[in-house]
Structure 1
Amino acid sequence: MNVFEYIVEEFHPRAVTSDEGLFQRQESQAAFSLPVVHLPFDAANPAHWLDRGCILDFLTTAGSGNLLDFGPGDGWPSLLVAPFARHVTGVDAAPRRVAVCEANARRLGVDNFRCVHVPAGRPLPFPDNSFDGIMAASSVEQTPDPRATLRELHRVLKPGGRLRLHYEGLSRYRGGKEVEVDAWESEPGVTQLVIIQRTIEKEQATYYGLQFRLPLGELAGHLTGGTAPGAGTLTVAGLERARPWLTDAVYWVLAHPSCRTWLRWAGEVGFTCARATHSGGRAARRVFDAIPAGGRPADLEGVDRLLRPLVTACVELEAPPELDAPITFVK
């Protein structure tokens, strides 16, 4: 019996959606690591350049009008795009994420943003043709039916408007990364353990969420003898040792469409065109590497001035579908 068979047969997990199984249980979806939202922007940090490139990617493609951010998490990219937009509306299926987004907006002084709770799989509470542009950052594939969600985003987008979709295709996990384990304390003395089983050929992943009434360190002691729980260290014997402290077991199954699948769906749901293009985030990261430390801008404004024209050009360059690159959909 393997780990997944043991969880199903012995823990009897109940079916949930990803908002209940994961996002409602995270104090911060980004582990308090977002530049500007959580941390001061650091022009010497390559990860911050990548992040800024992604923000400029969304701003360049979705535009600066009345925008929708589908699944903003901690307020990303909403709160960073908002200073350049007329208004941004976030929608999220997890009430905790809505509360976090609104709290972060107040703390940052962003007053042209609101966040709305919409249960997973439900229609969006907006009339047809409501938004000038839509941003979706690894969120549509978190819904029960991504194709139906794409159709709903098409409905609320104005004619001529653009949806910029960043997504998690599974091709990047080939070669031993099909199984992944993550663990964190959702509150003092309570640890969440999420085990992911990816089936790349089916463009599908099954997530098992286990909650234990133990601090993370103590749980690791039972599960692995003290090392971090991981795909190579989690065993049936370890789960059996930790079983007395198990307080909840859930699972959810998600479709993770590839670029080719998204592009096929685009025409089926009514978009006039859809193109995979290169990522502004990846371009920004490469620019960081190409410029000697002494030649880089020292602040966010300087980084923006440097990156804006480069990102603008980059997001218009078509990318091969096998890269699972971001996609721009036009209504």
Structure 2
Amino acid sequence: MSPLTVGPSAAPAAVLCGLAGWVPSGVVTNEHLARRLDTDDAWIRTRTGIRRRHVVDPGQATSDLAVEAGRRALASVATDRVDAVIVATTTPDHTCPATAPAVASRLGLARVAAFDVGAVCTGFVYGLASAAGLIAAGVAERVLLIGADTYSTIVDPLDRANAIIFGDGAGAVVLRAGHPDEPGAVGHFDLGSDGAHEDLIVVAAGGSRQRSRPGEPSRQDRHFAMRGKEVYRHAVTRMAESARATLSSAGWKTGDIDHFVPHQANLRILHSVADDLGLPRERCVTHVESVGNTGAASIPLALADAAAGQLVRPGDRLLLTAFGGGLTWGSCLLTWPALPAPAHPYDLCDQGERTTS
């Protein structure tokens, strides 16, 4: 069991009331990757389930995607007032300062609390817990939480193992203070980490560790690196354990779950976790085939996609689970509320969609 497992209290709960997703217009298909890498479409789809991924234009940054997703999420609840903005990301615009204050400013949210959460692909779940804490403590009545990543800016385009997996995107939710028992209330969090394995997923250069050493970093150290086989094993084990701990804290059984919404790492991992939990694969919400692994954006993007397709309906019980570098992992539960159906995130840009190699 993870070191931190908590259930709802008498304090106000964070209730989901708004949702939106956004991906940039650039598209990299498997066929495009096959032109520069020693691979082909069948090999990529067999191992990852991914058909295409979206990427930013030159000069476009994580904040640009976060602002667009945040603006649409706020529009979905017809409000421009929140008390805090949280951005979960591994690819901030700058090492310093955080990206969230700039996002808040560009959204016209002057003087609100704004900060980043850095838990890699678990960032959105950690962000949900952070937002719930702000609301429970009475610090905020309404929070805008955005998961946004531009992995194309840190993944080596010639890295056959990782270039096929990752894409760029942003997903946002609006959370308001409410009652723990009402639909949309987020609770029963399970969060954990294991820093002894920080080297499994890492960008070695750019931080104080590398900058304090003499000499320039290598090309390899400047890019994202992941030891895939070890990460696969940890991801399946940690996500399944975290999911079970969360269900246990709520008194729910696996059969009570209508939809399992995992971090969209790759299709093999998602199905392996579902199998480990004894959940039918058809209950696993996936859209990795259309956008790839979008890091902290993947769960809110998957939720937006599922809501747009009316896969999730009011009253459905959802289990959210994620795993990321650090190592970090986390899970939470919610009962789906009645929300306006958002657009499919990757349909929003189709009119101006461009392909890139």
TM-score, normalised to structure 1, is: 0.33
- By relative contact order (CA 8 Å, sep 6+), the higher-ranking structure is 2
TM-score calculated relative to the size of structure 2: 0.32
